[in-house]
Each structure stands twice: as C-alpha cells, then as structure tokens.
Amino acid sequence: MYVPLQQITDHAPQGVAIVDPVSEKIIYANHFFSEMLGYCSGELMGQHISVVNAPTNISAKDTADIINSALQIDGKWYGEILNRRKDGSTFWSSARIFRFEDRDSGPLWVSYQSVITERELAEKAMMQAFTSLEHLSFGVIFLNDAMKAIYLNREAEKLVGLGLIDLESNEPKLSDSLNTTRLRQLISSAIQSSLEGCLQGGGNLQTNEESGKPMLEFRVMPLSPQSSSLISTRMASAAIFISRPRELQIPWKKLVTQYKLTPAEVKLASILTEGKSLDAAAKQLSVSINTAKTHLRSIFSKTGTNRQAELVSLLLSSTIPLNHMAI
C-alpha cells in the first residue's frame, strides 16, 4: 500500500479494513474500524475476518464465506452485516466490499463499513412493515388514542371508498348504529388496553350482508408501544383488520412445512400475531417466560428474523396469520 493512500484510509470517517483473500485474514484496519469493534490499534491484524462477524440465522464463518464467494465471482459485495465487538456485543453496519488489485501485493479485499444507528434500523423496519401491509388482501387501519385513523392500507382505502366504513366523523362509523356502537366499544377497549400495557382488549365483530353491501368481519386489537413505534411517529394504539369471512386465516400448515415450526412454536407465534407481549403469551400458554424466550429464539432462527415486530410482519405477509391456529 502506498503511503498517501494509507494516510487517507487512516483518517477516513468510516471503518476501512483490508483482507488477504487467500488466508482471509485482516492485514489492515484503520483506527475507525478498530474502535468501532472495540479493539486497540493493530489488534485485529492477522485475525480471520469472521472474528468480527456475529452469527445470525447462519454462522459467522458462513457469513464470511458468502461474502467471499461474491467477491470471487463479482468482485464486490454490498449489504448489511451483524458485527461482533471484542466484548461480545453486536451492532449492524452497512458494508461495501470490493476486490482491489494492488501493484505490489496482488488482489486484496477492501471493506468500507459504517454503523447503522438505531434510528436507521427502526426506519428500515417501519418501511418493511408498511410494504407488507400495502400488499395485504384485507383492510388494515391504525388508530391513535383519540380513535382517529392515522394509517390505512390500500384495501382499507377501497373499503372507505365503497362506503363500507366511514372515517370522516370523529370516530369510525358503520352503516347501522348498533354495529357502530359495538365497533367503537371494541376500539375503546383496545386503546385502553394499549395505554395500560395489558393488551387484552379489542375483539371481533361481524356485520350482516344488507342492501348490496357484503358481510364483513372486523377484528380489533391493541398495539404495544414497541409495535406502534414501527408504524408511525404519531403513536398508534389500536388496529382494525377488515375482511370477508374466512379471509383472515393463518396458513399454519404451510408455515410449519416451510419453517419447520414445532406445535409449541406455532402456538406462541399465533399469540404474538395478536399483538400480545411475550410475557402475556407465556401466561396464556401456562409456561415460564424463559421457556417462551427459548421458543421465540428458535422461531427467530428458523424464520431468519431478529425482532418480534419483524416476525409478525413476516407472518402477516405470508397470507396473513391473524386468527388462531388452524391445524
């Protein structure tokens, strides 16, 4: 490496590391890269690149192998990596890695990495959640604690356009007063549960077919602060799912086959899709919180997810697990 180039990388405002493609060992790491990973200057020299990769649903070595294969074939790899600091803590980074032909050393792999902040992770999760919601075959409405609609997906907008639910008034309104009263009671119960953190409120309402209007099912559920923060900066307290009867069926048989979920994991996942906390799910299943955590870690590993909100979003997008088990 030429001195001027090293002077540039030494003072670069992001992590820079260079790896020998034959040994897959780090032969250079600038101060920012070492500090980002909790190492002293020079401490990473000679270590295998997998030492800084944290295992996700695949091992750290497999992550390194995937990146290395891409570099061999395409000469570059862009993506996000879960890194592991020296103290064992983890963080996500945005990485750009490419193959560089050095006149003296031959081929080298150069990695540029920067830390992904919690805000960026939350924004990404929010965008993923919105993308999933927009492709659902049934209506989804999020309400704040004043019972005001703050988000409608495409299907919900269609239902509003057809006059099947009115959101112009102070509170959601249906075509008849009895169903309107019942729906508002369910929403009020869900909002109160969300504010209290118990997540037990809400419920179901089915309207009758009348005057050319189809029969509809309304499922109202509270939202936890964790899940609502991914939905909107304007805090959502309750959700309404609107469908034709039997549209909101969880394809658990398909999911069991696809992800090899156990019966216990299916039961836990089913409860979590209702917006309930892990503690509430453990109580409902009459198991300890540690047992529930073990099941959840296994579900994360099998589905390639890392957070409860991410898991629920995945299950929603699979033809939408909103009812209880159907197996």
Confidence of residue 38 (pLDDT cuts 50, 70, 90): very high
What's the pLDDT score for residue 126?
63
- Half-sphere exposure in the Cβ direction for 204 (13 Å, CA): 12
Give the pLDDT mean for 183-197: 88
CATH number of 3-116: 3.30.450.20
Give the pLDDT mean for 205-229: 73
Give the pLDDT mean for 306-315: 72
Give the pLDDT mean for 122-151: 80
Res 323 pLDDT > 70: no
Domain boundaries, the chain: 3-116, 121-243, 252-316
pLDDT digits (tens, 9 = 90+) for 140-152: 899 988 999 988 9
Residue 116 identity: I
Q: Model pTM?
A: 0.46
Instruction: Name the more confident of 252 and 298.
Output: 298
Task: Region of 320 please: left (phi>0), alpha (psi -120 to 50) or beta.
Answer: left
Confidence of residue 322 (pLDDT cuts 50, 70, 90): very low
CA distance linking residue 102 with residue 108, whole number of Å? 7
Q: Do domains 3-116 and 252-316 have the same CATH topology?
A: no
What's the pLDDT score for residue 327?
28
Res 258 pLDDT > 70: yes
The CATH class for the domain spanning 252-316 reads mainly alpha
CB 194 within 8 A of CB 227: no
SS3 state of residue 272: helix
Res 77 pLDDT > 60: yes
Residue 20 identity: D
Res 4 pLDDT > 60: no
Q: What mean pLDDT, rounded, does the chain reach?
A: 80
Res 47 pLDDT > 70: yes
Give the pLDDT mean for 194-202: 74
CATH 3.90.230.10 for the 121-243 domain, yes or no? no
Instruction: Name the more confident of 131 and 54.
Output: 54
Burial of 309 (0-12, 13-18, 19+ CB in 10 A): buried
Which helix (H) or strand (E) segment holds residue 188: the answer is helix 177-196
Give the pLDDT mean for 226-236: 55
What's the pLDDT score for residue 123?
62
What's the pLDDT score for residue 319?
45
Confidence of residue 325 (pLDDT cuts 50, 70, 90): very low
Structure-token pair, residue 72: 């061999």
DSSP annotation string for 86-121: TTS-EEEEEEEEEEEEETTTEEEEEEEEEEPPHHHH
Confidence of residue 65 (pLDDT cuts 50, 70, 90): confident
- 3-7, 105-109, 199-203: which is most confident: 105-109
